[in-house]
Structure 1
Amino acid sequence: MAASTFKKVCTLLSFFLFVHHVVLLSTVASVAEATALLKWKNTLSNETQSRLHSWTSLPNASANLNHSTDPCTWFGISCNPAGSVVRMNLTRSGLQGTLHGFSFLSFPNLAYLDLSGNALFRDIPHQSSYLSKLIYLDLYFNQFSGKIPPEISCLNSLTILSLSKNRLEGPIPTSFGNLRNLTYLYLWGNKLSNSIPEEISHLNSLAFLDLSENHLEGPIPTSLENLRNLASLNLFQNQLSGSIHEELGHLNSLTLLDLSQNHLEGPIPTSLGNLRNLTLLYLWKNKLSGSIPEELGHLNSLVLLDLSDNLLEGPIPTSLGNLRNVTVLNLFQNQFSGSIPEEICRLNSLTTLGLAENQLQGPIPRSFANLSNLQNLYLRKNRLSGPIPQGIGGSINMVSLQLSENQFTGSLPESICHGGSLQHFSIINNGFRGRVPQSLKNCTSLVRVFLNGNKLTGDISQVFGAYPNLFIIDLSHNHFYGTISSNWGRSLKLGTLKMSGNNISGRIPPEIGNNIQLHVLDFSLNHIVGAIPKEIGKLTSLTKLWLNGNHLSGVIPIEFESLTNLEFLDISSNKLFKSLPRNLGNGFSKLNYLNLSHNNFSEELPILLMSLFHLSKLDLSYNSFTGEIPSEISKMQSLEKLNLSHNHLSGIIPTTYEEMRGLLHVDVSYNELHGLIPNNKAFLDAPLEALQDNKGLCEERKIEIPN
């Protein structure tokens, strides 16, 4: 009995001593890990150290182990029951520094390390391979540089590895093929080069592979077909070449395949039609050729298909009408021909259809009006013809409708902005005629509108409204008439307003001065009368102003000196008169084109005009300027083309022209100039017509120019 009791006591004592020993060991381990963390913290920037304020200093550990600080309570640190660090999550913690002061060997139980979203730099130490139990390593979005250490391949337990969005370069280590437990491999957004290693195909557990946005080159390895668990393959924005091999069609688990923005060529393999789980297929911006395989119509799970910006040709296959779940179908910038298949209209989930910049012809199918979820329709730059079916644009969700540069005719559908969501509307260079629909007048959602190059008609003061969100509108080269409405002054976000080449009459409303965000204003080639309103001087953001080809009269407003951002000014072919403002040129430091020709300006040329040193073209022809050409014209060192013809300028041509080395073309004909022409290439190479009808110009060789 006593022996039994003694045995129990010994057993209990042994257990107690074992527990005490384990606790003592774990305490020692905890101290070692805490010490290692603090040493690393001290290598980081001062700002970083303040953010890790919970990582406090240790007392003398050798004096009293029981009073050591417990790292398990520190920010971002988690421990196992024995008190050893198993998890570090310091994502987006503002860390600045390197990993060279981090003692990887001190963390034998670390399984999860997330340092993403910081500012860690220099190379990734090869000692990271000492973390033998690591299953999760995320260094995404830092500033790591140098090569990927091949020693990472010793981390046999790794399931997730993310080194994306750094500055890593060189090849992907072939030893990565040893990471047989890896399910996620993210290396995108670096500067990795060379080819994709064949050894990647050994990663049988891999579900997500992203090598995009690097400098990888060469062909896509056919051995990738072995990755039968792969759900997502991202290789976009590299320099991969060769063809898309048939073997990719064996990856039956794929839901996403992105090979866009490479140099891939040849046909799209028919085997891609076997990827029945595929939801996203991006092959855009390559050099793929041939036709679209009918087999792509078997991809019933597909939500997005983008084959744009390739060399694909032939008709659009009718089988694409089977893709009932597709929301985005982009085929633009190819060489597709034939008509738009009616079967596309079966795609009831479609929100975006991009067929622009092809060679499609014929009408838009009438059943397009039934695509009630359609938000974006891009058909520009084709050979499509006929009228636009009624109901197009009637979708309550329609945001962008682009029909430019086709051969459409007829009137615009009344429903063009029926849903009130239309923001971008473009019909440039077609044959549309008739009036603008009422729905467009009331379409306050409009942001960008291009109606130029058609035969639209109507009173411009009545057919357009006020648009609080409008940024650009071009109504040029139509048959609009009437006067410019003051309502345009209520479209306060307007940056570009163009009405050139219509039959607009009346005056420019002073309310145009309210559009202080205008950068471009074009009222040219109309029948506008009256004075240029001084309120245009409020448009201080203006860079381009066309008022030429009208019947404007009066003087150039002195307020023009406020247009300090102006780069292009054309007010030629009007009835403006009197002298130019003496301060003209005072604030035009950015002006590079100035055309005041075909007016009735008189008196002398202002000296300040000669200070426009950025001006490359100056046309003052067909006016009544008098006096001499100012010698200060030599300040205009950027001037390439100068036309002073058909005025009453007198005296000699200043010799300072010889300093104008950039001058290429000059015309001073039909004035009252005399004497030697300057020793300047533009004058010496000028045809006689550019110098004739003066009072006696001659070259130094005494060759007289005909009067």
Structure 2
Amino acid sequence: MTSFTSAKLCFLPYCLVIFLFVSSPNWVAFPSATSTSHTEAEALLKWKASFFPNQALNNLTWYDLPTHNINATNSSSTNPKPRTSPCTWTGVSCNSARSVNKIELVNRGLQGTLHEFSFLSFPNLEYLNLTSNKLFDAIPPQISNLSKLHHLDLSQNQFSGRIPPEICLLRNLKFLHLSWNNLLGEIPKEIGNLKSLVNLELSHNNLSGAIPPNIGNLINLNTLYLHNNQLSGLIPKEIGNLKSLVNLDLGNNQLNGSIPASFSNLSNLEILFLRDNQLSGSIPQELENLKNLILLKLDTNQLSGYLPRNICQGGKLTNLSVHTNYFTGPIPKSLKNCKGLFRVRLEQNLLTSNISEDFGVYPNLDFMDMSHNNLYGEISHNWGQCPNLKTLRMARNNLIGSIPPEIGNATKIHVLDLSSNHLVGLIPREFRKLSSLERLMLNGNQLSGRIPSEFGSLTDLDYLDLSTNKFSDSIPSILGDLLKLYHLNLSNNKLSQAIPLQLGKLVQLNELDLSHNSLEGSIPSAMSNVKSLLTLNLSYNNLSGSIPSSFEEMHGLSYVDISYNHLEGPLPNIKAFQEAPPERLEGNKGLCGKVGALLPPYNAHGSKKDHKVISVLAVFVLLSALFIIVFLIMQRKKKHQDTKQNHMHGEISFSVLNFDGKSMYEEIIRATKDFDSIYCIGNGGHGSVYRVNFSSGDVVAVKKLHMLWDGETKFQKEFLNEVRALSEIRHRNIVKLYGFCEHKRHSFLVYEYLERGSLAVMLSKNEEAKELGWSKRVNIVKGLAHALSYMHHDCLPPIVHRDISSKNILLDSEYEACVSDFGTAKFLRATPPICP
């Protein structure tokens, strides 16, 4: 009886609850869908009210709630109905229970924070996408209350501060996108707890520190983007555990060390970007196992060694970028059969390969750059069979032979750069078919013949550099039809006759260099029509007459060099001429004007008389100089006791090429592979001479001095003598000194590079000696006479060379003579030379 009574009593509360629920429809024991919807609507409106007012809010159709009780009964029904619901609002979706499960407000112009967003009010939210707005400040840690969230995208905003560790409590997250913000600090170490993650994108922030090794726990990860941050340290080998990974980008950080060999486990990987870091060592050969690889970018690191031989083993590779590293050895043979290649960048390495054998035909290839390497061989005919090729760059290698005419079949090509090689022969007439060509660089070769008139069909050309070749005859007038040209460089060739009037039609031209040719006649007045011209170099030609007065209308001209011609008359009254230093005007017979160069004032009435006086003086100086040459040659075997000179302490400060000393030293060592004999172009009693190609495009000669420490005093005296002389004097017929290094390991002098070497070497070879006709030999004697006259009469104190011989006379491409080797030179007073 007692037990029965107890049972009844215990059952009564449950009966009461059921009774209350059934008999009282206005009483609700748990929140209904209606009340949840009402709470979510209020929360959204409160968040909207925190936004900065702007036009974007007018398009956000979130209506205010009614002021009366939203649960009041309707006269026509006993069921409560809200007057409004967020489920119909812009960017808001609900589940079947009319509770908000998705908010997607992409590119709505929202400007505000998340501080007024009530995360607790959205217990069923699964999808939150606020990308491409102007939301700022920190991401609140309360975001962890969105326990059902599986997609979170806050990218392309202005969020700052750290990634809250609480975000790693969202165990259902599959997509986490926080890219393109201002987030900083470390990636939370708890990131490894988000084991459901499929896509993790934290790129384009200011994140720092190391990549957490437990990121290797995210075994479902398909995409990992951490690029464009400030992450440092080693790449965790645990990333090799992410066998589902398809896309991996760690580029543009400060990561160091080597590429983990564990990456070979990423058999599904299609994209691997490690570019712009500080990675070193070689590429693991195991990366050949990544047969699904489509895009591989390892450029701009410090990687070395050989490229994997079977880098295209899977045959799917379309994009290969390994430029700006220290890779050596051959180009992988597997690239020849990698037909899907679209973009290849191998430039700025130390690759050695015969490129006539390494490449095939690629139907999709758009971009190929293998510049700045040690590649050799002839240019393959196959490039003309790449129908979609738009850019082909092979500059600064050791390519030989002629340009194959088949390149003319690559009719879509926009950029062709074959500069700084050893190419010979004519420019193929088939170039006329390259109607899409915009930039053509053939400079720094040994191409010859005429500049083809077929260039007239290259109407899209805006950049043309044919300098430092052996082109002859006249400048084709048809170049004046290339109306898009903004850069034209034909310098250092053998071009003759007059400057075509048609060049005055190039109204887009910014830079014109016709220097170091044999052009004659007057400067066309039509050139003044080129109002856009900034740089004009006509130096070292045979131009005569006066400078057209219409040049005074060229107010944009900022650099002009007309030196060493036969020009006369007044200089135009514009800044480019007024502020030109003397060396850009010298070597003419009758220029005048009151400008920075301090030329004599113009006197039209006395010009003929002055010219006669100048001519007589010129003959007198020439005869005097020739006498001095004979005298010095007779005396060169006599020994002279040199007066004692005080030792020069410290550095001699001068700059010609504006090189940073340390960087120039490092580049010389790298370019010559620590003075490897293959770069040596001559040997002498005091040192060996090397040709050095700088990455900037400059070519210099470096004389590395023999370090004979038993004769250290004599060596040091001659070294400093050379530096002292050449650091002060400047003359067309004296070799230019660009810099020097005095060190126990390497002491060397950096000179301008003169293509034909010494007169002694030329005279010792029958074929080359035959090229030195009497006119050239007389020109060499004149140049030597000018140099000696300058040293003896124009320098204060005068300089006596004391070692003039054919070994110390260097010739440029036009057989112009330059005096070198001032190690035994003597100054007639102890003060430094002052030369005009």
- TM-score of the superposed pair, with normalisation by structure 1: 0.77
Are 2:240 and 1:225 equivalent residues in the alignment? yes
Deviations 1:104-141 (A, max 9, x none): 11111222212112222221111111111212111112
Instruction: Report deviation, 1:402.
Output: 0.8
1:279 Cα offset (Å): 0.7
Following superposition, the deviation at residue 228 of structure 1 comes to 1.3
The offset of 1:579, in angstroms, is 4.3
Change over 3 Å in CA distance of 1:427–1:150 after alignment to 2:
same
Match of 1:163 in 2: 178
- For the 8 Å contact 1:93–1:117, the answer to whether it is kept is yes
Secondary structure of the residue aligned to 1:241 is strand
Superposed displacement of residue 543, structure 1: 2.3
**1:534 counterpart = 2:541:** no
Partner of 2:825: none
Match for residue 300 of structure 1 among 298, 315, 319 = 315
CA contact (8 A) 1:26 1:82 kept: yes
Aligned-partner SS, 1:264 = strand
Deviations 1:333-385 (A, max 9, x none): 11111311524124343332211111112222344433343322111111112
Aligned to 2:431: 416
Q: Give yes or no for contact 1:298–1:322 (8 Å, CA) kept in 2.
A: no
1:27-49, CA deviations, whole angstroms, 9 ceiling, x for partnerless residues?
Answer: 32222222212222222212277
Q: Quote the offset at 1:301 in angstroms.
A: 0.5
For residue 30 of structure 1, the aligned residue among 15, 37, 54 is 37
Root-mean-square deviation (CA, aligned residues, Å) is 3.5
Please tell me whether the aligned partners of residues 556 and 576 of structure 1 are also in contact (alpha carbons under 8 angstroms): no
Q: CA deviation at 1:482?
A: 2.4
Aligned residues of 1:191 and 1:215 also touching (Cα < 8 A): yes
Letter of the 1:92 partner, please give it: N
Question: CA offsets, 1:569-610, max 9 Å, x none?
Answer: 944433455542xxx6xxxxxxxxx5465x77579xxxxxxx
3-state SS of paired residue (1:97): coil
Match of 2:587 among 569, 573, 580: 573
Give distance in 2, aligned partners of 1:94 and 1:489.
51
Name the SS of the counterpart of 1:392 in structure 2.
Answer: helix
Aligned to 2:252: 237
- The DSSP-based 3-state class of the residue aligned with 1:199 is helix
Whole-angstrom distance in 1 between the partners of 2:312 and 2:67:
72
Distance 1:148 1:355 in 2: 42
Partner Cα distance (2:221, 2:239) in 1: 11
How many positions carry a matched residue from both structures? 594
Match of 1:42 in 2: 49
1:325 aligns with 2:340: yes
Alignment correspondent of 1:180 = 195
Q: Aligned partners of 1:214 and 1:452: how far apart in 2?
A: 42
Alignment correspondent of 1:652: none
Measured in 2, the distance between the counterparts of 1:22 and 1:443 equals 84
- Structure 2 residue matching 1:480: 3-state secondary structure: strand
In structure 1, what is the Cα distance between the partners aligned to 2:425 and 2:576?
45
Q: Does 1:60 align with 2:34?
A: no
Corresponding letter in the other structure for 1:195: A
Q: Secondary structure at the match of 1:319?
A: helix
Asked if structure 1 preserves the Cα contact closer than 8 Å seen for 2:45 and 2:64, the reply is yes
Uncovered stretches (5+) of structure 2, i.e. residues with no partner? 1-17, 73-80, 605-616, 618-653, 656-726, 731-791, 799-833
Alignment of 1:334-345 (within 5 A): 334-345=349-360
Q: What letter matches 1:446 in structure 2?
A: L
* Equivalent residues of 1:493, 1:517 under 8 A apart: yes
- Please state which structure has a larger fraction of its residues in helix: 2
Within the alignment, does 1:279 sit opposite 2:294 as a pair? yes
Match of 1:486 in 2: 501
Deviations 1:67-126 (A, max 9, x none): 654323333222334332222222222222221121111111222212112222221111
Query: For 2:54, what is the secondary structure of its paired residue?
Result: helix
Q: Deviations over 1:593-641 (max 9, x none)?
A: x5465x77579xxxxxxxxxxxxxxxxxx9xxxxxxxxxxxxxxxxx99
Report if the CA contact (8 A) 2:453-2:476 is conserved: no
Which position in structure 1 is the counterpart of 2:282?
A: 267
The 1:340–1:506 alpha-carbon spacing in structure 2 relative to 1, beyond 3 Å, is same
- Structure 1: stretches of 5+ with no match in the other structure: 1-10, 585-593, 604-621, 623-639, 642-663, 668-686, 694-704
Residue of structure 2 aligned with 1:90, choices 92, 105, 108: 105
Could you tell which deviates more after superposition, 52-61 or 270-279?
52-61
CA distance in 2 between counterparts of 1:258 and 1:429 reads: 35
**For the structure 1 residues 22 and 72, does the alpha-carbon distance in structure 2 shift closer, same or farther, using more than 3 Å as the test?**
farther
Instruction: Decide which moves more: 287-296 or 530-539.
Output: 530-539
1:547 deviates by 2.5
Partner of 2:272: 257
Counterpart of 1:177 in 2: which secondary structure? helix
Give the whole-Å Cα distance in 2 for the aligned partners of 1:242 and 1:198: 15
- 1:469 corresponding residue in structure 2: 484
Q: 2:414 aligns with which of 399, 408, 429?
A: 399
* Matching residue of 1:431: 446
2:70–2:83 contact (8 Å) kept in structure 1: no
> What are the Cα deviations for residues 624-660 of structure 1, in whole angstroms up to 9, with x where unaligned?
xxxxxxxxxxxxxxxx99xxxxxxxxxxxxxxxxxxx
Map of 1:179-198 to 2, 5 A cutoff?
179-198=194-213
Deviation at 1:237, TM superposition (A): 1.0
TM-superposed CA distance for 1:212, in Å, is: 0.6
Match of 1:364 among 357, 367, 379: 379
Structure-2 separation of matches of 1:466 and 1:77: 61
1:359 counterpart SS class: coil
| % same residue | 36
Question: Is the alpha carbon distance of 1:53 and 1:231 closer, same or farther for their aligned partners in structure 2, counting shifts above 3 Å?
Answer: closer
Structure 1 counterpart of 2:495, one-letter code: F
How far apart, CA to CA, are the structure 1 residues paired with 2:504 and 2:559? 18
Give secondary structure in 1 for the equivalent of 2:215. Answer: helix
SS in 2 for 1:433: strand
Q: Give me the whole-angstrom Cα distance separating, in 2, the residues matched to 1:549 and 1:50.
A: 71
Partner of 1:4: none
1:574 partner amino acid: N
Aligned to 1:699: none
Tell me what 2:391 maps to: 376
1:99 aligns with 2:114: yes
Give the TM-score normalised by the residue count of structure 2. 0.66
CA distance in structure 1 between the partners assigned to 2:335 and 2:729 by the alignment: 61
